[in-house]
Structure 1
Amino acid sequence: MVAPDISLRLLEIFSAMMRAETTVEAAEALGVSQPAVSAGLRQLEVQLGITLFERTHRRLVPTAEARLLYEEIKPVFGLMRSFAGRARDIRQGKSGRLRVIATPPLGHTLAPRALRHFLQGRPDVSVAYDVRRLEHVLEAVQTGAADLGLALSMDRDPSVNTEVLHQGHMVALVPACGDLAGRAAITPQDLGPDLGQEPGGSGFGLIGLAEESILGLLVKTAFDQAGVAYAPRVEVRYASTAAVLANETGGATVIDPYTAAFHGTPQMAIRPFSPPCGVSAILITRKGVPRPHLVHSFIAELRPLFSDLISPARS
């Protein structure tokens, strides 16, 4: 004889009735009507061929067989509660794994701070975090190796979804004790080939971003438009490297506002760079794939941090 297929709903009604004293209480616990509970119990008894409850003094009393069966299904409902709880945590962005990849200007500044806030109160969330060059960020997002990417001022790429998180401008990082720190804005003329040779100037000279980088090209274009030779005494690939060297040597540099804000020290002043060179923080996600709840939660922690950046007019 083939065993009957018992629906999970009938077992749920049975379990609720075992914990309650009346069908009314069981119905309230399940959010259904009392007749639905009674009908479910009758159907289960027919399918099992076992009497599960006996009516005594207007109450349904579990039989010995019902108590034995209840002990068998208790672990099932424990698993169901665990499953429902895990699903709720995933839905609310409290469980799972988040994969983040970023270029250095955001990967070494705002994103780690957002990650710290994001992980607080989420003990069941793990994160894969990497900082790479832009081409690697794009590849990771395109292939699904990362849930989201972060980068600065990139050309529109039709292979991914992009969203501007914040728009800012390049800033100058100059010695706080020099004449440049007293200026309202720093121009290419201030950072030309004679930088470091004039009294009160930067004693080390210009630390510049490599021209082949996106940010380096922005700065070089501003110098070209001003008719000033872009001739860094030291050339570096990453803005964070430029900031570290400027702090160490007393040189001057033009970098993105995010790196400047996180590498600012009392020895250095942050000043606007003129002409303005716009730079945007970009969120990159995979096309055709809905954003997981963890991605939404991480972005929610990241967005407010942009408004907390140190103003370029402050040192």
Structure 2
Amino acid sequence: MISARQLEVLSTVIEVGTTARAAELLAVSQPAISNMIRHTEDLIGFPLFHREHGRLTPTHEARHIAQEAQHLFMQQKRVESIVNELRGGTIGRLSIVATPSIGHGILPHVLSRFMEQRPKLQLSIELGSIDEINRRLVSGRADLGLSITPPRHSALSVHEVGAGRMMCVCPDGHELGLLDTISIADLNHVQHISYGTGTPLGQQIDKVFSERGLERRYFCEVRHTATALEMVRNGLGVALVDSFALIGQRHHGVTVRDTSPELPLNMHAVTSNLFPTSNLALRFQSFLADVLIGGPVQPGDTV
């Protein structure tokens, strides 16, 4: 069978007319070109050139082969282009599963910036609980998981990608919005929207209340910070939400304040140990970490 290299030599000699010029273009010696042509003729069993007075004239069969080879060369260039794009993370499919506060908050903001130089990317975004993140990664249905609470699973790797904190949000004009910093104890005296005691965020907040000899009181229980934030936007009360849920938001009407004490938390990127992590997923993880270096929403912001 004729190799791609033999086809390249044949096509180049036909195009430029001499073995000397073909050797120069292909960065090899002239004898190497001549030997390659003879070897190809021996392989296929008929001549490719007429040799008269030191000149090579391609046969009809040689021109036909070279013409067909052009399709191969075009496809080869296409494959090389695809490889370069994959190496640069500009094409491919990225499947992400995230908790709702991340999915409704920072994720669309970061993806819009990530896609600016990657318009050919295909995305798949799912929102779910920690258990759903585990299931999708372990089954290979997602490339990357994003969560505040780090999942614990032997088949998963967890990487911290950014630091944040819980912040107090209240409707514009609310009395707590007049304070620079909102004490945890203040939340027991207003319409407080909070998280169930069985949730990771609820347990974290309960610990802070308990350390101060207080019992957390709230009139509305939610599971996700995205839900709490929407309820605050609609004037239903005050809530603690993670700072990642606030990044990139365009809606107005919510005032953000720091808390006392500070309630730190982190965002985690999760990948499967059962499947190779794609180059694209690794690039997005690094891009997300760079964005988070800029820090969370600042107190006093209206989002």
Q: Normalising by structure 2, what TM-score? A: 0.89
Give identity over the alignment, percent: 28
One-letter identity of the residue aligned with 1:207: I
Moved more, 177-186 or 134-143: 177-186
1:111-126 to 2 correspondences below 5 Å: 111-126=107-122
1:103-252 to 2 correspondences below 5 Å: 103-192=99-188, 194-195=189-190, 205-249=191-235, 251-252=237-238
Q: Out of 78, 83, 88, which is 1:87 matched to?
A: 83
Deviation at residue 265 of structure 1 after TM alignment: 5.3
Which whole-Å CA distance do the structure 1 matches of 2:250 and 2:198 have between them? 25
Deviations 1:234-291 (A, max 9, x none): 1111101111111212521111001134557553221122222221110011115443
Asked if 1:282 is matched to 2:273, the reply is no
Asked if 1:10 is matched to 2:22, the reply is no
Deviations 1:135-192 (A, max 9, x none): 1111111121111111113254332111100011111112442442233322221111
Give the secondary-structure state (helix, strand or coil) at the position aligned to 1:93.
coil
Residue matched to 1:198: none
Count of residue pairs brought into register by the alignment: 301
Residue matched to 1:66: 62
Give the secondary-structure state (helix, strand or coil) at the position aligned to 1:146.
coil
Alpha-carbon contact 1:174-1:250 (below 8 Å) kept: no
Q: Out of 239, 249, 257, which is 2:243 matched to?
A: 257
1:267-278 to 2 correspondences below 5 Å: 267-278=253-264
**Gapped regions of structure 2 (runs ≥ 5):** none
- Assess, with a 3 A threshold, how the Cα gap between structure 1 residues 240 and 62 changes in structure 2: closer, same or farther: same
Deviation at residue 232 of structure 1 after TM alignment: 0.9
Deviation at residue 82 of structure 1 after TM alignment: 2.0
One-letter identity of the residue aligned with 2:82: R
Alpha-carbon contact 1:258-1:309 (below 8 Å) kept: no
Q: Out of 267, 273, 295, which is 2:281 matched to?
A: 295
Which whole-Å CA distance do the structure 2 matches of 1:287 and 1:247 have between them? 40
**Gapped regions of structure 1 (runs ≥ 5):** 196-204
Which whole-Å CA distance do the structure 1 matches of 2:90 and 2:53 have between them? 48
Residue matched to 1:53: 49
Residue matched to 1:201: none
Q: Out of 31, 35, 45, which is 2:31 matched to?
A: 35
Moved more, 61-70 or 20-29: 20-29
Which whole-Å CA distance do the structure 1 matches of 2:206 and 2:165 have between them? 15
- Assess, with a 3 A threshold, how the Cα gap between structure 1 residues 17 and 125 changes in structure 2: closer, same or farther: farther
Residue matched to 2:98: 102
Alpha-carbon contact 2:94-2:124 (below 8 Å) kept: yes
Alpha-carbon contact 1:154-1:214 (below 8 Å) kept: no
Asked if 1:304 is matched to 2:300, the reply is no
- Assess, with a 3 A threshold, how the Cα gap between structure 1 residues 110 and 239 changes in structure 2: closer, same or farther: same
One-letter identity of the residue aligned with 1:211: T
One-letter identity of the residue aligned with 1:305: V
Moved more, 249-258 or 66-75: 66-75
Q: Normalising by structure 1, what TM-score? A: 0.86
